[in-house]
Amino acid sequence: MHRLVLAALLALTGAGAPVTAQPIDYAAERAAIGRYQDADQRLQDVGWQLAAANAPYCPRVVPGIGLQLQDMASYGVPAIARAALGLTRDFAVQTAARGSPAARAGVFTRNREIVRLERFDPNHWPAGSAMDWQRLVKAHDHVEAMLTEHGGITIGFADGAEARVQPVPVCATRFELMGEGRKAVADGSRVVIGMGFPAFDYPEEEVFAALVAHELAHNVLGHDAWLDRNGRSARNVRRIEREADRLVPWLLANAGYDPAAAVTFMTRWGSAHDAGLKLRRTHEGWDERAEAMAAELPAVRAWLTAEGQADWAQQFRREINPAESAARTGRR
């Protein structure tokens, strides 16, 4: 539902195309993929910084190296994507998140072809003919399994070089960029953000980070599972939205961002999209949401000054009882 779909690739090869073959503009395809990769880099950099810095407080932590792969099978027309990027196989480096073990290794350059993840060559795994995103998930799952079982992974490149990378603990959330759409969602294990989300255009990294932190907050506070157990009433959604908003300054502060960027984000995004928000009973007005975020700042700053970190696992006041499970009413 949210996987990589590049408009340029579809426009050139879609069902509406004339039967006579059009020449493929590979430079345009490469540029479109490049824009997607730039946006993904921005998301992975910010996501990594938040997930690594807040690992001491997250309820579930996994070993991570900050490496994002790409698989040509996930494109609408893999052969075009492969040719546009000059690849002979399907797997290559997408991003190495800034400051991550993968980035520090210095060898995971964009589009560098990968032929080995520990003992397996993922290019040999079967894939569908187009839009197959499952194989990329399998590759990332495999990397995580190797890190968990062996405390590291050896990754081989098509040119014969290889690198051994050791992980660090990160909050158990994966960050995924959707090739289209303006939505941002958190499903418990992933944060998925559409390339069209307005915050991608915000120049300040910390203001974009506030959006990512809001979605990460839903996962680390267990909101999706809580809503599953207690129902997605407008009242319940308002409560978890408020709780996610209020955690944003804490997550930002630990990651080295100005916690007040939370308020800047909500004010800028909310005032630009106010009309749409007012129609939704599940969300408070953006001004109330910005106020709730601002109200956290004194505590966050006090903990930063005293401890150098803002321990939200201990100090954050919850809006919900995370263990709560509504009695069955028979209504659902």
Q: How far is the CB of 304 from Zn ion (least distance, A)?
A: 24
Q: How far is the CB of 71 from Zn ion (least distance, A)?
A: 29
Q: What angle (nearest 5°) sits at the alpha carbon of residue 178, between those of residues 30 and 54?
A: 115
Two structure tokens written together for 136: 């990329």
- For Zn ion, give the closer residue by CB, 164 or 232: 232
Q: How far is the CB of 202 from Zn ion (least distance, A)?
A: 17
Two structure tokens written together for 29: 């395809």
- For Zn ion, give the closer residue by CB, 85 or 244: 244
How many angstroms separate the CA atoms of 308 and 286, rounded?
30
Two structure tokens written together for 176: 């995924």
Two structure tokens written together for 332: 């659902």
- For Zn ion, give the closer residue by CB, 153 or 210: 210
- For Zn ion, give the closer residue by CB, 58 or 244: 244
Residue ranges that bind Zn ion, judged by CB under 5 A = 241, 244
Residue 258's CB is within 10 A of a number of other CB atoms, namely 17
- For Zn ion, give the closer residue by CB, 272 or 302: 272
Q: How far is the CB of 185 from Zn ion (least distance, A)?
A: 8
How many angstroms separate the CA atoms of 175 and 195, rounded?
13
Rg (CA), the chain: 21
Q: How far is the CB of 218 from Zn ion (least distance, A)?
A: 6
How many angstroms separate the CA atoms of 70 and 84, rounded?
14
